[in-house]
Structure 1
Amino acid sequence: MDMQTELLENRVFDDITVGDAASITKEITQDDIALFSFISGDVNPAHLDVEYAETDLFHHIIAQGVLTAGLISAVLGTKLPGPGTIYLGQELKFLAPVAPGDTVTATCTVTEKIPEKLRVILDCHCVNQDGKEVLRGTATVKAPTEKVSRPAIALPEVRLLRHEHFRELLTRATAGDPIPTAIAHPCDDISLLAAIEAAERGLITPILVGPEQKIRDTAAAHMLDISGLEIVSTAHSHDSAAQAVALVRGGKARLLMKGSLHTDELLHAVMAHGTGLRTGKLLSHVFVLDVPTYPRPLLVTDAAINIAPTLEEKCCIVQNAIDLAHVLGIETPRVAVLAAVETVNPVMQATVDAAALCKMAERGQITGGILDGPLAFDNAISAAAAAQKGIKSQVSGQADILLVPNIESGNILAKQLTFLACADAAGVVLGASVPIILTSRADNDRARLASCAIAVILAEAQSHG
């Protein structure tokens, strides 16, 4: 149904004759069903839950009957009689299910006119692409008496935003036992809530490391129940970081999670010689983004720790990200090394580094992934954009990892995707002896839980060698 350039003209009562008919045809999609559920509040699993629907009567997702009936309303309001019609009544019989992918044609045919009330009775039926009748009924309308002819209003573009990738991560992460996690200085409502949510979902067993009274006061002020959680009392935020790290070193915790202290404070304790969590690897941060407009999870690195990484550091950063991608189930991740242009320019260090990294990957200095670069952002995520510039790449349009030139570009990119493209961004620090969970006050509950889920999956992978 494309009415954006259509001229809507009605049929006044006197111009309508018995036998007149009009039709509208539309393919019913999964998005139509989901959008109708959102508008109506009908979250019946028969319409939305594939696993449930397979066990139901029809063994597949079905559209709401009233969604199909809406096509009849569209015929009456736009074609016959058209604008000015007043819908008075409708009788319907639902004869067969409509599934996503079915093409339904709704036809309304005039069967009777009642002049004294300007009423028109119409036989209504809907058939699918195979000619099978799925709906039949009778509509009663009051026909207009004044002629209307005007262009149809252009409809807004509607895009449903789904976060399926994070849902899959949570399912995987909750399959095992909760992992003991040291929460460093959870002295605000967001960090406490993150710990409680993750515990309730069976991801972690939180150990709250911070000034006990401050933690309890915060919980009371925001009506958060921490009665079942262990608290390790500390004097201040520096002490919280040190003791949280000590819990990990001592084997009491297998994950480390940032609370309301600054990231630098936590990482200072992590990197401390003799008492920290050093492994000999470079610490780097990865945003794992669930971007509704992109068909796969997107890893962006490094947007939080390494400010202006050297070529050697970029080599470590990309290897950390590739190793994470493997754990997340991406067998051969495709890495786009980002720059402002797609050609090597000696005065643009990011392009020189990109070329060197690709050659390093060819020579086995970076393993487990496919690298290409330099690539501008559009060429990394769009095969069409790359083709327009004559770029032949195994990565363009299929990038799993975006390696950014520096912390500013990475931070801007990740937050741009979050706030303008409605992405959820989970954050984790790699390279220490355990994964480190970083959350932000701006994160929603899905992103906070996903950060924990990724860390849990990493910890389980480490425990199995």
Structure 2
Amino acid sequence: MKTNGAATTRTFDEIAVGDSASLTRTIRYEDIAQFSVLFGDLNPADLGLPGTLAIRNMLGGVLVSAILGTRLPGPGTVYVAQSLQFLRQIAIGDALTTTVTVREKDAATRAVVLDCVCVDGAESTVMMGVAEVIAPAETPALRTGARNEFSPPRRERYEQLMARCQGLAPAPTAVVYPCSEASLVAAVEAASAGLILPILVGPEARIRALASQSEIDLAKCELVAAPHSQAAAETAVALVKSGKAKLLMKGSLHTDEILAEIVRKDSGLRTARRISHCFIMDIPHYEKPLIITDAAINIYPTLEDKIDIIRNAVDLAHAFGLRKPRVAVLSAVETVNPKIMSTLDAAALSKMADRGQIADAIIDGPLALDNAMSEEAANIKGLSSAVAGRADILVVPDLEAGNIIYKYMSVVSGADGAGIVVGAKVPVILTSRADSIRTRLASSAVAVLYVHATQPSTLTER
């Protein structure tokens, strides 16, 4: 028997010599980075990759362990011994199929010996060896909903946001220059989820040809012709100003092109506020969505800029249902230091909030990243704060710091980051080729919630 499915238990009596189970996994940068952090092995080996070769090859042993612990024999197995030989190093991008096959059984001890082999996509052997386990005598009773503390964390914050969109009218959305497969798919996926009504703005023949080539159904999409990316951005902004579109979604043009039309003084979508970007993060083991702002638009924001950045993020949090979000204004340290300008800005913003100049939020700073997100870290440093360890919003000192935080969370922590631009007359959905379907839908859901919260009279319920 051969299996490649979900976790099941095979008792000793149910196992026969020759039974096998397999697991296929493509090794990602994140896998190696997280494993390196877990074992404290952060030394680059070659090509700037994290972890030594030994750490990378240990991933092969983890794949074997995963099969033994979840598939053959499965939950209830006791690991006894393992001997593996690595024929070449495991590398990022390897599509590895690991197979264990029962070689022999011992009824007296319930010991099972299994041959282990791992091959890459070209069927070349990467690793081989032998493992010995004690198979369970009976299927273990698992509590409904029980979680092992070492199991992968549940990430359901985006699903909760999308659930809040149920019953809301889909928002007519001008999709600006969707001339790549990723951008066109993002619009169609959001339409299929009932979040938006796409108005595709760009060269019609090119968009239809792309849809045909990629087998993308445009039945739910309206097309508005525009010869090139700049014209598409101009037309999309005009659709918003006319009231036909309530949202913008970036297609395959450069972000600067669409932002240039939005901030244009005479014909754009400017408001009294400075526009800013928000990443809405779904982070494993963090109990709620976390907004990071601004990590994409404002490079070195002034104190005045940060007031608008905070107000934009607070309005977005209100759309999620947070009446008084907790805002952590970040710096390198949690004490005010005249030599570090970001600590002075943070202190001023906190005092402004105390005096009601920034309303409907609890703001504290300066806070370092650790004590903004960890109550334990805040307690160790003796911080008395309503925000420390419970932040809903992180306000970064500048774009460089924000971008580093966002990418670290994405790569090392496995977080997802949905993104929108706020501060204009309508929000702008930003999607990337690297975004997962889940992240794309979350970006659209966030924008839909925002527009329903800020412009409820312009949309009707389903």
Between 444-453 and 413-422, the greater mean CA deviation after superposition: 413-422
Show the counterpart of 2:397.
Answer: 405
Matched, 1:375 2:367: yes
Unaligned runs of 5+ in 2: 10-20, 24-69, 82-106, 114-132, 458-462
* Structure 1 residues 84 and 337: CA distance shift in structure 2, 3 A: same
Choose from 375, 381, 389 the match for 1:389.
381
Show the counterpart of 1:241.
Answer: 233
Between 435-444 and 190-199, the greater mean CA deviation after superposition: 435-444
Show the counterpart of 1:99.
Answer: 144
Show the counterpart of 1:206.
Answer: 198
Q: Residue 173 of structure 1: SS of its match in structure 2?
A: coil
Give the superposition deviation at 1:75.
Answer: 11
Provide the rounded CA distance (Å) in 2 between the counterparts of 1:185 and 1:303: 24
* Structure 1 residues 365 and 35: CA distance shift in structure 2, 3 A: farther
Show the counterpart of 2:260.
Answer: 268
* Structure 1 residues 160 and 252: CA distance shift in structure 2, 3 A: same
Between 387-396 and 452-461, the greater mean CA deviation after superposition: 387-396
Provide the rounded CA distance (Å) in 1 between the counterparts of 2:198 and 2:231: 18
- Cα deviation, 1:290-345, whole Å, max 9, x if unaligned, reads 11121111000011111110001101111111111111011221111110111111
Say whether the 8 Å CA contact 2:274–2:305 is kept in structure 1: yes
* Structure 1 residues 224 and 384: CA distance shift in structure 2, 3 A: same
Give the superposition deviation at 1:237.
Answer: 0.7
Matched, 1:424 2:395: no
Show the counterpart of 1:108.
Answer: none
Q: Residue 392 of structure 1: SS of its match in structure 2?
A: coil
Matched, 1:444 2:415: no
- Cα deviation, 1:249-287, whole Å, max 9, x if unaligned, reads 111111111111111110111111231112212111111
Unaligned runs of 5+ in 1: 1-33, 42-65, 104-156
- Cα deviation, 1:214-256, whole Å, max 9, x if unaligned, reads 2122223322222442111112111000000101111111111
Matched, 1:293 2:290: no
Show the counterpart of 2:216.
Answer: 224
Show the counterpart of 1:463.
Answer: 455
Q: Residue 7 of structure 2: SS of its match in structure 1?
A: helix
TM-score (ref. length: structure 2) = 0.70
Show the counterpart of 1:347.
Answer: 339
Show the counterpart of 1:357.
Answer: 349
Choose from 289, 303, 313 the match for 2:295.
303
TM-score (ref. length: structure 1) = 0.69
Give the superposition deviation at 1:35.
Answer: 8.0
How many residue pairs get aligned? The number is: 352
* Structure 1 residues 461 and 338: CA distance shift in structure 2, 3 A: same
| Correspondence list, 1:13-412, <5 A | 36=7, 74=78, 82=109, 84=111, 98-100=143-145, 158-412=150-404
- Cα deviation, 1:353-392, whole Å, max 9, x if unaligned, reads 0111101111111111111111111111111112222222
Say whether the 8 Å CA contact 2:237–2:268 is kept in structure 1: yes
Q: Residue 336 of structure 1: SS of its match in structure 2?
A: strand
Give the superposition deviation at 1:85.
Answer: 5.4
Say whether the 8 Å CA contact 2:263–2:269 is kept in structure 1: yes
* Structure 1 residues 270 and 74: CA distance shift in structure 2, 3 A: same
Give the superposition deviation at 1:97.
Answer: 8.1
Choose from 434, 445, 452 the match for 1:453.
445
* Structure 1 residues 215 and 161: CA distance shift in structure 2, 3 A: farther
Give the superposition deviation at 1:90.
Answer: 9.3
Question: What is the one-letter code of the residue matched to 1:235?
Answer: P
* Structure 1 residues 373 and 212: CA distance shift in structure 2, 3 A: same
Say whether the 8 Å CA contact 2:77–2:135 is kept in structure 1: no
Say whether the 8 Å CA contact 1:289–1:299 is kept in structure 2: yes
Provide the rounded CA distance (Å) in 1 between the counterparts of 2:416 and 2:160: 14
Say whether the 8 Å CA contact 1:76–1:82 is kept in structure 2: no
Q: Residue 312 of structure 1: SS of its match in structure 2?
A: helix
Say whether the 8 Å CA contact 1:184–1:209 is kept in structure 2: yes
Provide the rounded CA distance (Å) in 2 between the counterparts of 1:254 and 1:180: 6
RMSD (CA atoms): 3.2
* Structure 1 residues 187 and 391: CA distance shift in structure 2, 3 A: same
Question: What is the one-letter code of the residue matched to 2:7?
Answer: F
Give the superposition deviation at 1:81.
Answer: 5.3
Q: Residue 432 of structure 2: SS of its match in structure 1?
A: coil
Say whether the 8 Å CA contact 1:76–1:85 is kept in structure 2: no
